[in-house]
Amino acid sequence: MTDPQAVPSPPPTVEANLTLAVLAKLGLFVVGTVVVIAAIGRAQQLLALVIMAGVLSAVVAPLVDWLGRALARPAATLVVHLVAFIVLVTVTSLVVSDIRTESEHLETYASEQLAELGDGVAPIAFSRADLSRRAADATASWGTTAVLGDDAATGIAVRASQLVVIVVLSVFFSLQGDRVIDAMVQRSSDRDRRRQLRTIWSDAVDAGARQLRHALAHGTVVGIIALVVTRSFGLPGATLLAFWAAVVSLVPVLGPVVGWMPAVVVAGLSEGWRPALTMAAVAIVTVVVSSRARAATAPPFRVGPLLAVVGIACGVNAAGLPGAATGLFLVTAGAYAAAHHWSSVAELAAERHADGAVERPPAGHRQTEPVEQTNDADRAPRVYVDISSTTLLRVGALVVFAVMFQLSLASAGAIVIWVAVGLLIAVGLDRPVSWAERRLHAPRAAIVVAGAIAVATALAGLGWASGGDLGSVGSLDDDLPQLAASLGDLPVVGGRLSELDIEGAVADFQRRAPSLIDRSPVAGQAIGFVGGGVVALFWIVATVLTALIDGPRVISAIDRRITARYTRQVRRLATSARDALAGYVAGSALVAAINGSLIGAMAALVGVPMPLMLAVWAFSWNFVPQIGAIIGWAPVLILAIVLHPIAGLGCVAFFVIYQLLENNLVQPAIVGHAVDISALAALGAALAGGAIAGLIGAVLAIPIVGVLHALRTEWSSDDFPRLRPRPAVA
């Protein structure tokens, strides 16, 4: 029998030794990887120029081939690129010159409008401040930066030199690009793999170039039509308006509408409402006809609107207008490769894996010396380990790819957050859109467009209804001294307020306000903030519309390419994440709607001006955790206290009571079932998101943490399907 008190013997161990050659190889690998990463970090701009040059060479390739039939290929390449350079410089110069000219007209027009606004509405006489000049300067700066990527003279010179570099590199790629690709493909020792990689590369580049050429041709036609129409109407800044329509029309769904909107607005401001209606009718006809023509002449493979919006948005944020074309090209090429070559690449990899499993041991770890068997129990067997160069190259490529991906995210900047916000809203709106699609048996795109028109109409009606309340705000300039004097009649604190001479302080502030605004940078910062908000709103709305239209198709395409071994698990996890995210968005929207409705009703009862606008303000801020409720309620509470002090104190008491009810009853009952995380976890997520991405990061942090918690709960559930065993290799 075995002695129960006997100590169990330790498990056998193996001593792994690395030779000096292996250590040297590892050292060179680490040093080389660090050098490559440092070079990538310092050469981001050069890499961007190389990519843009490659895109340009792919786009002009048909012209080079066509002209090469009459001339030698080097001569044809030089002629095509020289013509392209002249066209780009000419168009850019005309647009920038028109931007500068129209900014001067804008200053005159803004001065007139601000003068009228100061007489009837502005409570502190904004018309006397130099806002018109600041608005004109901001417009000129925005326009020049959007076209050239910089507004300073040195920056414009740098952009011009970069354009020359792009053209020169494009000439090189047109002449030697095939040899470069062949040299890269030859790194693989497998003939089938080389052929497969060459086919994938050529097909993807051709698909991206066709899509970009088609988009540029469509934008050019739209720009020409817009130029003819705006000049026939005699609108100022016709070249700028046409350029805007041509560029923005590249963005699917929302782009054509936004592209023609400035022309309609300028027609209304300069000519009257009848020319504006005529321009709107012309714009609608042009958008419909051009959209149908674009769909009819589309290349055999075209990327969906959602991926196109994401690619264009990232490209614009990273490198301006050239980046937009590059982003569309890269997204199309990647989508084509994934759609047409995914299965063949997977099959080829499986064949290589199967052959390797039968014929050779795994690479990277081999025993170069037999294990020495000794009778000494204290001595572990010794194995010499070697690492193949292929393994090191693969690991290094993975590390470099990860660093490049991180740098790409950093260069994309705010566009990643805007796209994430758009996708979050689209997930919340997917349920009503899908319900309407099933009940009405109508195309999904028609339902989304109809809903967008209804929302835009409602917002326009809200703005028109709130416009009448501005008159009551305008009288606030005259009523401020009387309001300050009436504070002395308040109980308890009235005497103390009278001693402080608040009425005199208010009168002195009204007198000095215009000069303070003129010297303060706040006005310029406010103009920049509004402009950035408009850009963010455009990309968010574009993402929402394209995700609602194209989202199901993209998800189905991804689902079809998931390996059968992981299908059940991925679908379960995706369903859980979608339900949690959709429930959170819908519940948060309902809570925000309740909050906004209460504020609007309370403002109307108390007599606070602009109750509808205050309700929308509170609705928007209610999505921000922790501080959103305070900021949403602050305007109505301040106005209520200033206009009606006693009623304002009642509003403050109502705010405290409602926040207690919302935080302890309404919010947990409506949103708690979708995102089941504790209050401490929500606070930590909001703080972390705010530290990473500011206010929007705080908004996105809670649903992201909630989705991760839902995935973890689903993964650990008892009925979660386990992975199927891999098929045996013969």
pLDDT at 116 over 60: no
Summarize the confidence of residues 366-388 as an average pLDDT.
54
- Which tens digit of pLDDT belongs to each residue from 538-582? 888 888 899 898 888 888 888 887 777 778 888 888 888 888 888
Cα 238 from Cα 624, distance rounded (Å): 41
Torsion of CA 634, 640, 642, 647, to 10 degrees: -130
Both tokens of 110, joined, read 């803004």
Nearest one of 175, 100, 112, 165 to 136, comparing CA atoms: 100
670 vs 149, higher pLDDT: 670
What would the mean pLDDT of 9-28 be, rounded to a whole number? 67
Q: How many residues can be counted in the chain?
A: 730
Mean per-residue pLDDT over the chain, rounded: 75
pLDDT-derived band at 710, boundaries 50, 70, 90: confident
Quote the pLDDT of residue 73.
86
Q: Which range among 323-337, 381-395, 504-518, 658-672 shows the weakest confidence by mean pLDDT? A: 504-518
For the cut 80, the answer to whether the pLDDT of residue 353 exceeds it is no
Q: What is the pLDDT of residues 656-669, one digit of tens each?
A: 888 888 877 777 77
Concatenate the DSSP letters of all residues of 612-634 into one string. HHHHHHHHHHTTSTTTHHHHHHH
Q: Which of 295, 545, 541, 296 lies closest to 444 in space, CA to CA?
A: 545
Q: What percent of the chain has pLDDT over 70?
A: 68
- Higher pLDDT pick, 92 / 10: 92
372 φ/ψ angles, rounded to the nearest 5 degrees:
-80, 120
- Res. 360 pLDDT band, cuts 50 70 90: very low
Greater pLDDT, 368 or 31 = 31
Task: State mean pLDDT over 71-97.
Answer: 85
* Residue scoring higher pLDDT (276 or 389): 276
> In whole angstroms, what is the distance from residue 558 CA to residue 572 CA?
15
pLDDT confidence band for 127 (50 / 70 / 90): very low
pLDDT at 605 over 70: yes
Helix, strand or coil for residue 459? helix
Q: Does the pTM of the predicted model rise above 0.85?
A: no
Query: Taking residues 310-323, what's their average pLDDT?
Result: 81
Q: 150-164, 492-506, 563-577 — which one is most confidently predicted on average?
A: 563-577
Q: Label residue 132 by pLDDT band (50, 70, 90).
A: low
Q: Alpha-carbon distance 320 to 531, whole Å? A: 16
pLDDT at 128: 43
Torsion sign (Cα): 672, 674, 677, 682: negative
* 199-216 per-position pLDDT tens digit: 888 888 999 999 999 998
- pLDDT higher than 70, residue 452: yes
pLDDT at 285 over 60: yes
> Which among 346-350, 430-434, 492-496, 526-530 has the top mean pLDDT?
430-434
pLDDT at position 618, please? 86
Residue 300 reports pLDDT greater than 70: yes
